[in-house]
Amino acid sequence: MARIKTLNEFILDRQDDFPFATGELSRLLNDIVIASKIVNREVNKAGLANILGATTNENIQGETQQKLDVYADDHFIAAFKNGGEACAIASEENDDFVAFDNERSKQGKYVVAFDPLDGSSNIDVNVSIGTIFSIYRRKSDLGTLATKEDFLQKGTEQVAAGYIIYGSSTMLVYTTGKGVNGFTLDPSIGEFCLSHPDMKIPVDGKIYSMNEGNLAFCEDGIKDYITYCKEVDKESKRPYSARYIGSMVADIHRNLIKGGIFIYPATSKAKEGKLRLLYECNPMAFIMEQAGGVATTGKKRIMEVDSTGLHQRVPTILGSKNMVNKLLSKL
Ligand code: AHG
Ligand code: MN
Ligand code: MN
């Protein structure tokens, strides 16, 4: 039986993947691991721990915060603050970024943007949810308080990105720009173990993921592509299968493994779509491109979009190269 490789061992083995980091990035990834294990524990017993349901507050998105949104946000922030490698964080659940003002954190080289709990609408119905994270090197001077400009960097500047999916098993999938690797949490030893080395998305697929309830409000090219997916064509094995979970992490993870396309486009109701560039689209685009897929707004590479705000939204098309290119040919 092949010896298991834990995430810690994997990170240390790959230490020289980023020459400029003398262990800080490794420790930062471990901060994420600690927080994800705490969140996983609550997610697994959410129905028992009085942690289901909504709070009475709304986040800046105007969305009612679920109790687990706030729980996850608090624990990830605490892990980053205590870890000392990040000088600041930005999160979906916080209107503004949070600069840590203790002396150790001010020396931190990195900032982290994250969606503490993605797919919140699925919490109470026991459907897979996740956490998404994106790590940048700060632009501001070491020893100072972080600034908003530390976050307003293009996705191409990310040094690492990834997600945790709290599903039938709990997995952590991440990239530092040298491919994508997946780790499954073994509860019996409390370690994430390498289970999906060097993940690559199939160049083609038969799954399309979109909330078709929005279709009437989309541009014609999107409508034409969904019609194309439904036309019978024995050769290309259409119609394809529609699969849409409503948790971006779960939809992307499935398509990453099986092949497919995920579409959350601009609509007449939401001119820039719904998903947020900083802590949803850029990290998922980094993963997707590193796995050999395509990540576009429909007009340009997601990771080339200028970042102008912490909660900026972008139209999002992610997936298998051939499927995305087919959609782009219709726009
Ligand atoms: P979050 O729960 O962090 O707000 O994210 C939800 C997002 C994303 O996970 C998912 O793909 C999308 O919202 C679903 O939106 P619709 O319900 O409008 O389809
Ligand atoms: Mn989300
Ligand atoms: Mn969220």
Q: Quick: pLDDT tens for 155-177.
A: 999 999 999 999 999 999 999 99
What are the C-alpha distances in Å from 270 to residues 98, 215, 274, 275, 281? Answer: 28, 12, 7, 10, 16
Q: Is 274 in the pocket of ligand 1 (CB under 6 A)?
A: yes
Q: Is 313 in the pocket of ligand 1 (CB under 6 A)?
A: no
Q: What is the pTM of this model?
A: 0.96
Residue ranges of alpha helices (H) inside 146-281 are: 220-230, 248-258
**pLDDT tens sequence across 42-79:** 888 766 666 666 777 877 777 777 788 999 999 999 99
Angle between helices 321-328 and 220-230 (to 10 degrees): 130
Q: Is 77 in the pocket of ligand 1 (CB under 6 A)?
A: no
Mutate to test the pocket of ligand 1, among 122, 255, 274, 311 (most ligand atoms within 8 A of CB): 274
CA 233–ligand 2 middle distance (angstroms):
35
CA 147–ligand 3 middle distance (angstroms):
23
Q: Is 247 in the pocket of ligand 1 (CB under 6 A)?
A: yes
The mean per-residue pLDDT over the stretch 9-29 comes to 78
Closest CA to 116 of 274, 279, 312, 273: 279
Closest CA to 250 of 331, 166, 311, 309: 166
Kind of pairing, strands 207-209 and 241-242?
parallel
Domains and CATH numbers, the chain: 7-196 (3.30.540.10), 207-328 (3.40.190.80)
Mutate to test the pocket of ligand 1, among 92, 115, 124, 275 (most ligand atoms within 8 A of CB): 275
Angle between helices 67-83 and 24-44 (to 10 degrees): 150
Angular region, 324: left φ>0, alpha ψ -120 to 50, beta rest: alpha
Of the pLDDT bands very low, low, confident and very high (cuts 50, 70, 90), residue 21 is low
Alpha carbon 146 to its chain's center: 23
**pLDDT tens sequence across 238-258:** 999 999 999 999 999 999 999
Angular region, 7: left φ>0, alpha ψ -120 to 50, beta rest: alpha
